[in-house]
Structure 1
Amino acid sequence: MGILANEQHAARSAPTDSVALFLREMAATPLLSRDEELAFARRIEAARVAGVMQFARHPAALDELASIRREIVDGKAPPSSYVFGFSLDEPDAALSDGIAQGGVEGEDSPERQSALMAQLAYIEQAADTLREAIGRAGYGSLAYRRARRELQARMGVVRFTGRAIERMAQAFSRHGAATSEPVHVDAMSVEAILPRLARRIGNQLAAIDRGAQQARVSLLKGNLRLVVSIARRYNERGLALADLVQEGNIGLMKAIERYDPARGFKFSTYATWWIRQSVLYALGDQARIIRVPVHTADTLSKLSRVTLDHVNRVGGVPTHAALAKKMGMPLDKVRELTNIVRDPVSMETLAAPGSDATIGEFIADDAMPTPEELVTAHRMRRAVTAAIEQLPAREADVLRLRFGIGVADEHSLREVGRQLNLSAERVRQIEVRAFERLRGEPGFARLKAYVSAGGH
């Protein structure tokens, strides 16, 4: 059976219409050649660099970049949240093979992170030099042009993440321009030129973003078959095919954002790793009895990769000290992570040798109401029923439907109106009158006391 026939068969057997629609769209999308993938990837990368070059011209974006660096230095965010790596890295066979075969440890190494932090410091120094040139000589001066070229060269070396670019863009937008007049840099103050400069940069950024978005969509559509082919391998393992495809698409989008065409390996090879990781992460999260935070799960995934790499190379399980050195983290943190990945104890395990009681019998069920809560709820239901029975029939019916008293669900004003053949406004008026009448009833004070005590 050919590829197209397989896709059509999967569409017919898919559990949801959304999967069938997705597979039909995928079947109608032509495959991309390697040259086409490379062209789209280069367009995206060029747009990223061009956008960063524009941000280097505006103080607000530079101030935001300085804030990002401070967050990283203070330990509030990992460098990988804002920086992928260096744009000017020479294609390295060992690093390329490592990433292509299932890892990005080279990008997470302490050496790489130190180099990135140093480059961010150089960028901040260059930005300070640019500000001094603007204040001393003004826009358009020789000192300004030299400082700007140096800053752009520094920023062009770093591959910023979409999150970093978005933050700089938002900072820039908050200082947007109010005029479309051309910029004249001779003999103008900083206060006068900034709004016009912002308007000009904003127009250029919009054009850059449109081109990059078109390339992203083309690269995404051209690799839908890859997502489905990987998702199918993990079908019937706890998640529906629709969910697996969705998770795979998330991985594909991450690959599109992170892929560096200068590295030399195929995009589809790089994307395969990210798609598979996204699918496996979703399956693992579904199967895990004890949930862990996302950032912890990412660290656990890296711990697993480092351990497996050590086993393959050395032939034995690494010690905690070896893992701590390899991952660049404290020994206590590695021990803590190792404890997390241990198998959980079953709730059916006997509490003690020779005992008939299980561990689960000694764990409180927070979802189960206490006897006091059950009694309070029962009394409140009786009080509510008694109060509503004192109302005229139509007012009682409106309150029962509106608040789900004695019926399955609560209803909106419009839904109640349809059932009682009334307008929504008329239902609201009846509801208001019913509450006014209830406030005058002798039992209202007791009902209010139950509600204040925490009844439902």
Structure 2
Amino acid sequence: MAEKKKKKKKTRKREGERNLEEESQVEEEEKRGEEEQIEIDDEVIDEKADRIDDDRDTQALSLYFKEISKIPLLSPDDVVVLARKARKGDEEAKKALILSNLRLVVKIAKNYIGKGLSFIDLIEEGNIGLIKAIEKYDYRKGFRISTYASWWIRQAISRAIANKSRTIRLPVHIVDLINRYFRIRRELTVEDGSPPSIEKIARVMKIDKDKLERIIKASQFTRSIDMQIGDEEGTLSDIVKDESSELPSEVVFNVLRREYVDELLENLTSKEREVLRHRFGLTGDKPKTLRETGRIMNITRERVRQIEIRALKKLREIVLGAVKPMEWL
């Protein structure tokens, strides 16, 4: 019996040593893969730059790539040391962290070429995201700086593209109808002493009631989609723009009109509604993390994320579908 216990103990010890060795190999492979990937990306980026029409941009990019390629990558230990100094206000340490991750910005920015911004603009926006990431990075939480910074870089680039390329405009004749609707609504309210029904306004305007409702809803969507929500510099369109992105729990819907949000959520399943209510604090509570939401709903963190992505994708389709010109005809 005692000999069996000894054998089991030795087996467990060997397994533990093997696991540690495997983890070490994985880490080395991961590091080696990252370095190789950066080198490959530099070559791909040069090819992309060669296809840019503006020669001055191409020259500027080539010079930029050459300069940042000289900046050495930091080891995890170096990152911790510099991050600790940066948190204490050391500007040189902060600068070193930023410079060592400039190639990461280029790597991410190249995936957004052809989406409305020049490559140089994409890199500049990504660098802004990188700076913000370095300012917020907390090495004590155990996140790798590249993983943490990647989110901020993508968000900065995506938001810049959205601000440039996303503008939902209503046709002039629809704007005229909306203005006429509000004018008649005010006049009838004064005459009757209470807001008129949509049917009565439609009769006065000599327009189909269903069509008028669609026009009004489209107007509400175009006004609400660009309203800033929560304490972050975000809008509803930022949330429904990219269903694959990780969303910060601070972003909330509560500045939108309650009835408008409730109307949107009615298009979702009960589970999707519950996830969004918890994640974005729609019930008046503090927005919850994926993990907190999972505990409340008795599902995994990953399942919460999947449901959230699906729900936001639906909202995106509803919002964008509500302003399609074909629906006004």
Query: When the two structures are superposed, what TM-score results if normalisation uses the length of structure 2?
Result: 0.45
Larger RCO, structure (CA 8 Å, separation 6 or more): 1
TM-score, length-normalised on structure 1?
Answer: 0.33
